Amino acid sequence: MKEREPVKRGYSYKAQRRAYLFTTYFLLLVGAIVMLLPFLWMISTSFKPLSQTLTMPPKLIPSIFRWQNYVEAWNTAPFGKYFFNSFFIAIVETICEVIATIFAAYAFAKMDFFGKNVIFVAFLGTMMIPGEMLLVPNYITLTSFHWIDTYYALIVPFIVSVFGIFLLRQFFLSIPDELWDAARIDGSGRLGFLWRIIVPISRPGITAVALFKFIGSWNAFMWVLIVTNTPTMRTVPVGLSYFRTAAGTYFNQLMAAATMGMLPILILFFFAQKQFIQGIARSGIK
Amino acid sequence: MLKKGLILLLAVALLGLFAVNTVAATKKVEVTFWHAMTRANLDTLTALANEFMADHPNIQINLAYQGGYGDLSTKLLAAIMAGNPPVMAQMYEDWTMKFLEADALMPLGDQLSPATIVDIPQSLIESNTYLVNGKKALMTVPFNKSAMVLFYNTDLMKQPPKTWDELLQVSKDLTVVKGDTTVQYGFGIRPYTEFFIQFFHQAGGKIFNEDMTKCLINSEAGIQAMNYLLQLKPYSLYQSAYLSDPFGAGKVAMYIGSSAGITFVASASKGKHGWMTADLPAGSINGESMIQGTNIGVFKIGTTQVQRAAAVEFVRFLLSQKATIEWAEGTGYLPVLKSAAASDAWQKYVATHPDRKATTNMILKGFVYPHQANMYNIRSEIETAFEQVMLGKATPKAALDAAAQKIDSEYLSH
C-alpha cells in the first residue's frame, strides 16, 4: 500500500502575523531613528563645548553639559524681539490666509463661473515659478509702496497661498453637492452654507493649511532679511544667521538657538497632529 | 494797532525761523551701513561707530546687519535695482563690478588724502581700483581683510616649515599610522578654490591673461601646484569642513587657512596643545599669501550729498591708524595701513599676541584676486577641478584644461 504523503503545511497564521508585525515595526523603527537623529543631534550639540561639536568619531552624549550655550545664544542677538515678531507675523499671516483660502477654495470647488478651470490652472501655474525669481521684482514693488522695514512687507505678500487653495479645494470637492441642495431647501445662502456646513466638516483640511502656513512663516528667512533693515523687525531664523561667520560656525550656540526656535512648532504640532494628519490624508495628496 | 500787529507778526516769523534753524542744526545726518559682521566683529564695529559719533555729533551711523555675504550681495543688488541702496556697504570685488555697471558707486580716491592712499598696501590699492569710463579710480577702500597663514601644533614641531619641500617632509614625518588607521595627519587639505589658488600663485601662476580674455589656470604653474598637492595628499586629512576642529583635536599637525579663523583655532586647541601661526612655506616662485575679505563702498544713487559726505567722513575715520588698529585687535582682521602695522601700538599688541605676527608679515606679502565680474562662477569651476584631481577622478592636466575651457567659453568670451 502506498504510503500517504505528509500534508505540506505552510507557516501558521500566528507566525505569519508575527513576521508581518516584526517587519512593520522594524521599518517604522528605522524610519523613526532616521527622522529623530537630526533632532537628537541638534539637542546633543546644543550642550557641547565648541571644541566637541565636530569631533570624529561623533559623540551623541557630550562629555560636559554646557548649559551656558543657551544663555550665550540668547544674548547673541535680540531673540526676545525676534520671538515676538515670529509669533505675531505667523499668527496674523495664518489667520488671514485661512480666511482667504476658504473663500477661494470654495469658489473653485463648489461654484460655477466663466473660465473657472482656466483661472485655476493659471493659479497652479504660478506655483512653478521659483520664489527666488520673484525676490527682486517683489522687493522693487514693496519699495515703491514704502513698505520696506514694516510688518506689511512681512505679512501682506503671503496672505494668499496657491498651495493652500489647491489643498482645500481638493478637500471641499470630497463633500457631496447634495449637502448644498439640502441647505438651500432649508433656506441657507452660500455664506451660511460655507460657514455652518463646509467649514466645520473641513476642520482637518483647514488645520493642515493653517499649520503649513504657520511653519512656513516661522521658518522664513530670505524674504524677512531682504525686506527688513532693523533688528526690531526681524524674526528667529534671521537670528540664527548670527552664529555663522566667514571663518566658521558656532555650532553649539546655533543648535541651542535652533532648539529654542523649534519648540513652538513642536508644541503646535503635538496639539494639532491628529487634525493635521487627517487633513493631509483626506485631501487626497498624501 | 496795525503797527503792533505787524511787529507781533515779525516777531513770530523770526521766532519761527530761529526754531527751524535750531531743528536743522540739531537734526542728524543718517548714514546707513549694511554689513555682514556678527559677534566680536560686530561689537568692535559698533564701538568704532560710537567713537566716531561721539566726535561727530551731527552724524548718526546706523549699522544694519544683512545676513551672510551671499544674503548681503542679493539684498544690495535688489536695493540698487529699486533705487534705494544704503549709503555705504561692505562689498567684494565681483559685486563692486556689478554695482559699477549700474553706475551706483561714488569714487573714494578723490576723498582721501594722498598720504592715506600711499599708506594702503599696494595689493589692496589694486583690488580697490577699477576702470571707470576708461580711467582707473579708487572706488572702494579695504575693510575686513585676512591673509592665509600656516597654523601649526607647537607641541609637535619647534620650527614650522619654510618651503614647499620642507612642508612635504614635515607632513610625512608627522603622519602617524597605526594598523590601518591614520591617527595623526601631517597636513590638512580643504578643497576650496582659495586653497588651490594659494599654491598656484606661489608657483608663479596667473589666473587670467593681461586683457582678461583667457583663463590660464591650466598653465605649467597650475599643473605644478596640483602635482604638489597630490604629493601632500597621502599625509593630509582631506575634508570639506573647516580644519580648525581636527587641528584642535590633534588629528592634524598643521594646515593652511585664513587668519580669520584664529579664534576658532584658539577655541578648538584650548587645553589640548600649543599652536602658533607662521608665514606660509614659500613655493618655487614666491611666498606670497592670499588676502581676502571685503571693502567698503559709498553709493551715489538714492543718497543725498550730505549723506555721502558724512559716509566719506566715517570712511576716513575707519582708515585712520587708531581705528584700523582697534579694528584689527578686536576682530583678528589685518590692520589695512602700512603705518599701522609698523606702529608701536600694533607692535606692542603683537608682542602679547604672537599669533598675529605672521598675519602682520603677510600684509606686505599679499596678493588678491584679479577683477572679474563672474568670479563667483569661475571660482566654482576651479573648485570642481581641484576636487576631481584630489579624489583621483581626473589628472591635473585633464581637470585644469576642462576648467579653463569652460571658463573661457562661458565667462570670458563676452
In a domain, B13, yes or no: no
Whole-number Cα distances in Å, B247 to A30, B151, B268, B301: 35, 9, 8, 47
Task: Mark whether B269 and B214 lie in a shared domain.
Answer: yes
B121 and B157 both lie in a single domain: no
Rounded distance, CA B368 to CA B127, Å?
A: 7
Helix (H/G/I), strand (E/B), else coil: B355: helix
- As a whole number, mean pLDDT of residues B171-178 equals 96
Q: Inform me whether the C-beta atom of residue B246 falls under 8 Å from chain A C-beta atoms.
A: yes
Segments forming the whole domain that contains residue B252: 147-290+371-412
What is the per-residue pLDDT for B263? 83
* From A50, A136, A225, residue closest to B81, measured CB to CB: A136
Q: Is residue B185 domain-shared with residue B334, that is, in the same domain?
A: no
- Asked if the structure places residue B348 within a domain, the reply is yes
* Main-chain dihedrals φ then ψ at residue B91, nearest 5 degrees: -155, 145
CA distance B34 to B302: 14
Q: Are B367 and B352 in contact (CB under 8 A)?
A: no
Residue A232 lies in a domain: yes
Residue B285: DSSP 8-state: S
Please state the rounded mean pLDDT for residues A86-92.
95
Residues facing residue A245 across a β-bridge = A248
Q: Would you say residue B98 lies in a domain? A: yes
Higher per-residue pLDDT: B19 or B351: B351
Strand partners, A133: none
Residues B45 and B188 in one domain: no
Does B10 have pLDDT greater than 60? no
Q: Is B102 domain-assigned? A: yes
Domain total of chain A: 1
Q: Does A25 reside within a domain? A: no
Buried-exposed string B320-352: b where 16+ CB fall within 10 A, e elsewhere: ebebbbbbbbbbbbbbbbbebbebeebeebbee
Is B131 part of any domain? yes
Note the pLDDT of residue B4: 58
Residues of chain A with Cβ-Cβ distance to B245 below 8 Å are 51, 53-55
Residue type present at position B379: R
Q: Which set of grid coordinates corresponds to residue B94? A: 565681483
State whether B173 and B257 are in the same domain. Answer: yes
B307 is a domain residue: yes
**Test mutation, A64, A226, A234, A235, chain B, max B CBs within 10 A:** A226
Residue B21 has pLDDT above 90, yes or no: no
Q: Does B267 touch chain A (CB under 8 A)?
A: yes
CA distance B276 to B266: 9
Whether B115 and B181 share a structural domain = no
End-to-end CA distance of chain B: 80
B60 and B137 in a single domain? The answer is: yes
B78 and A50 in contact by Cβ < 8 A? no
Residue-level pLDDT at B157: 95
Residues of A in contact with B77 (CB under 8 A): 136
C-alpha cell at B347: 607692535
- Would you call A269 helix, strand, or coil by DSSP? helix
Does one domain contain both B194 and B301?
A: no
CATH number for the domain harbouring residue B349:
3.40.190.10
pLDDT(B394) > 50? yes
CA dist A48 and A68 (Å) reads 10
Same domain? For B301 and B351 the reply is yes
Q: Are the beta carbons of B335 and B325 closer than 8 angstroms? A: yes
Best to test chain B binding among A48, A53, A54 (most B CBs inside 10 Å)? A54
Question: CB burial class (10 A; 0-12, 13-18, 19+) of residue B113?
Answer: exposed
ipTM reported for the complex, 2 dp: 0.74
Which of A51, A55, A246 minimises the CB distance to B270? A51
Nearest Cα neighbor of A276 from A201, A218, A209 is A209
Phi, psi for residue B152 in degrees, rounded to 5 = -140, 150
List of residues 6+ apart from B79 with CB closer than 8 A: A139, A143, B85, B86, B302
Rounded Cα–Cα distance for residues A17 and A28 (Å): 16
Question: How far is CA A160 from each of CA A164, A227, A252, B230, B271, rounded to the nearest angstrom?
Answer: 8, 18, 37, 55, 55
Residue listed under C-alpha cell 563672474: B374
Is the pLDDT at A286 greater than 50? The verdict is no
Ramachandran class of B332: left when φ > 0, alpha when ψ lies in -120 to 50, beta otherwise: left
Whole-angstrom distance between the N-terminal and C-terminal Cα of chain A?
62
B125-163 burial, b if ≥16 CB within 10 A, otherwise e? bebbbbeeeeeebbbbbbbbbbbbbbbbbeebbeebbee
Q: Give the domain CATH number at A246.
A: 1.10.3720.10
**Total domains in the fold of chain B:** 2
Closest CA to B360 of B344, B340, B345: B340
Amino acid at B336: V
What pLDDT is stored for residue B35 in this prediction?
Answer: 96
Specify whether B279 is located in the same domain as B404: yes
Q: Is residue A59 part of a domain?
A: no
Rounded distance between C-alpha atoms, residue B198 and residue B144, angstroms: 19
Q: Which residue of B has its CA nearest to A77?
A: B39
Considering the domain boundaries, does residue A55 fall inside one?
A: no
pLDDT at B229: 97
Within-domain flag for B243: yes
Would you place residue B278 in the very low, low, confident or very high pLDDT band (cuts 50, 70, 90)? very high
What are A175-210's pLDDT values in tens digits? 998 888 899 898 889 999 999 999 999 988 898 899
Inter-chain CB proximity A136 and B261 less than 8 Å: no
- What pLDDT does residue A275 have? 73
The kind and range of the H/E element at B48 are helix B39-55
* Residue A255 DSSP SS3: helix
CB B310 within 8 A of CB B88: no
Domain assignment present for residue B1? The answer is no
CB contact at 8 A, A200 and B52:
no
Q: Are residues B163 and B270 in the same domain?
A: yes
For helices B193-202 and B375-390, give the axis angle rounded to 10 degrees. Answer: 80
**Is there a domain that residue A38 lies in?**
no
> Do B171 and B257 belong to one domain?
yes
Range of the domain at A162: 68-282
Q: What is the pLDDT of residues A133-152, one digit of tens each?
A: 888 889 989 999 999 999 99
Q: What integer best gives the mean pLDDT of chain B?
A: 91
> What is residue B13's predicted lDDT score, i.e. its pLDDT?
47
Please list every residue in chain B whose beta carbon sits closer than 8 Å to the beta carbon of residue A229: 32, 34, 64, 66, 86
Question: In A, which residues are within 8 Å of B64 by CB distance?
Answer: 229-230
Residue A82 lies in a domain: yes
Whether A259 is in a domain gets the answer yes
| Lookup: cell for A17 | 502575523
**Averaged confidence pLDDT in chain A:** 88
Residue among A241, A249, A252, A253 with most chain B CBs within 10 A, to mutate: A241
Q: Are strands B176-178 and B181-184 parallel, antiparallel or unpaired?
A: antiparallel
Task: Judge whether A39 lies within some domain.
Answer: no
